[in-house]
Amino acid sequence: MTRIGVVVFPGSNCDRDTLRGIELAGGEPVALWHEQGSLDGAAAVILPGGFAYGDYLRAGVIARFSPVMRAVTAFANEGGLVLGICNGFQVAAEAGLLPGALLRNRGLRFLGRDVRIAVERADTPFTHLASPRRALRMPIAHGEGCYYADDATLDQLERDGQVLVRYVDSDGRRADELGDRALEDRANPNGSLRAIAGVLNARGNVAGLMPHPERAAESILGSDDGFGILRSLVESAKRAEGGRSSAAATGEATTGEASPSLVGAAS
Amino acid sequence: MSTPFRFAVNVTPKPGILDPQGRAVEGSLGHLGIQGVSGVRVGRRVELTVDAGDEAAARAVVERLAGELLSNPLIEAFTIERTAEPAGAGAGR
């Protein structure tokens, strides 16, 4: 069974939902405590939502310096799959694993409600099983979700296909192109630039998004539109693991064995 | 021998970065009957003491701390001030 690690920081509060979502998607969920320096053989890692370390100073910044994040960073640098959800996106951005930053919501209020997002890149390890043809409904729950990067970076992200998901209206139209401020604010309530709800790194192995796929992973939750994202990650992790074990069988170095020594070197 | 040096780090949103807190503060001024105030930017001030051999060494520590932890260089700028040692430093109340 392919292990998917879910990091548990003090203050994480979506870790259990995420662990359950991974199980439903056919992976073996493994909780990774923030003080551990190893990923316990996980083939992919999720940084879940919550308020890591109380979100003191800036959301995500203190989590960045935890032992487990050294391991996650080394894993990501070797091409390992990492998905940050909500606070996990903030942590990944602060850690420099993803471009940009998440600012205070434009309206200053914490927002807990459903939004709709469209998959912009349906060919990634995080989205290949998610439906690209319609507006996916899932909740947001954040105070700092306004995606920001400077114009040059935004242009580069668009050009290189690093915009993963975007806020849209219920008809799937881009939230920043509705031509009506009230409608745009409703569809993109945190004020994210270019209505960006999630991004990829340049290599395509690290992704982050503010909406919560794990809170929309089965119909009893009101929506299962997020399930495709979790299933994509699990299937991609299985493939990555298969690639590694066949590499191991032919005597090549494996990523899984290389990471602990790198972690040691980094700390 | 090391000496304690007291600093303050002021972190503010960079020019051009939307600062909804600053805007909210500015918007509330009318309720106080205050006119003619603009350009309100809300940031954060962190005060700290560094033990080091000399002020330059202490300042280097603060520079690193301010750049790597206290501010996010993508969105925030910081300035460092040397401040007076507080009376009874460490008592904290």
Q: Check: CB of residue A47 under 8 Å from CB of residue A5.
A: no
Bridge partners of B49, per DSSP, are: B6
Contact state of B18 with A106 under an 8 Å Cβ cutoff:
yes
Residue A123 pLDDT: 96
CA separation (Å) from A40 to A6, A12, A71, A208? 11, 19, 10, 22
Q: What would the pLDDT profile of A105-114 be if each residue is shown by its tens digit?
A: 999 999 999 9
pLDDT in tens, A128-180: 999 887 899 999 999 999 999 999 999 999 999 999 999 999 999 999 999 99
B21, B69, B75: residue with CB nearest A101: B75
- The closest of A46, A149, A52, A135 to A100, measured between CA atoms, is A149
| Chain A residues touching B43 at Cβ < 8 A | none
Closest chain B residue by Cα to residue A106: B20
Q: Say what the pLDDT of residue B88 is.
A: 53
| Interval B1-54: pLDDT, tens | 899 999 999 999 999 898 989 999 999 998 899 999 999 999 999 999 999 999
Contacts of A59 in chain B (CB under 8 A): none
Q: Do B74 and A58 touch (CB under 8 A)?
A: no
Out of A58, A101, A104, name the one closest to residue B20 (CB): A104
Helix A255-266 and helix A227-249: axis angle, to 10°? 100
Q: Homologous superfamily of A3-266 in CATH?
A: Class I glutamine amidotransferase (GATase) domain (3.40.50.880)
Which band of pLDDT confidence, cut at 50, 70 and 90, is reported for residue A243? confident
Residue B87's pLDDT band (cuts 50, 70, 90): low
Q: Which residues of B touch A (CB under 8 A)?
A: 17-18, 20-21, 24, 44, 69-70, 72, 74-75
3-class state of residue B60 by DSSP: helix
**ipTM over the 0.85 cut-off:** no
Q: What percent of chain A has pLDDT over 70?
A: 92
Domain ranges of chain A: 3-266
CA dist., res. B6 & res. B62, Å (int): 10
**CB–CB of B18 and A146 under 8 A?**
yes
Share of chain B above pLDDT 90, in %: 76
Q: Distance (Å) from the C-alpha of residue A150 to the closest C-alpha of chain B?
A: 8
How many Å lie between the alpha carbon of B24 and the closest alpha carbon of chain A? 9
Q: Read off the pLDDT of residues A43-59 as tens digits, 9 standing for 90 and up.
A: 999 999 999 999 999 99
Question: Using the beta-carbon criterion (under 8 Å), do B72 and A104 form an inter-chain contact?
Answer: no
Question: A93 pLDDT band (50/70/90 cuts)?
Answer: very high
**Alpha-carbon distance A177 to A159, whole Å?**
18
Instruction: List, as own/partner pairs, every contact residues A29-32 make where C-beta atoms lie below 8 angstroms and the sequence separation is at least 24, other chains included.
Output: A29/A3, A29/A4, A30/A3, A30/A4, A30/A5, A30/A6, A31/A5, A31/A6, A32/A5, A32/A6, A32/A7, A32/A8, A32/A68
CA dihedral for A58, A64, A68, A72, sign (positive or negative): positive
Task: Give the catalytic positions of A in this structure.
Answer: 86, 212, 214
Cβ within 8 Å, pair A101-B70: no
Could A58 and B24 be called an inter-chain contact, meaning their C-beta atoms sit closer than 8 Å? Answer: no
Cα distance between residue A62 and residue A60, in whole Å: 6
Which of B18, B24, B69 lies nearest to residue A61, judging by beta carbons? B69
What are the residues of chain A with a beta carbon less than 8 Å away from any beta carbon of chain B? 57-58, 61, 65, 94, 100-101, 103-108, 146, 148-150, 191
3-state secondary structure of B75: coil
How many Å separate Cα A80 from the centre of its chain?
Answer: 13
Of A101, A108, A148, the CB nearest to B21: A108
Residue A13 has pLDDT above 90, yes or no: yes
Which of the residues B17, B19, B23, B69 would you substitute to probe the A interface, choosing the one with the greatest number of A C-beta atoms within 10 Å? B69
Q: What kind of fold does domain B3-82 have according to CATH? A: Mth169; Chain: A , (3.30.1280)
Domain-wise residue ranges, chain B: 3-82
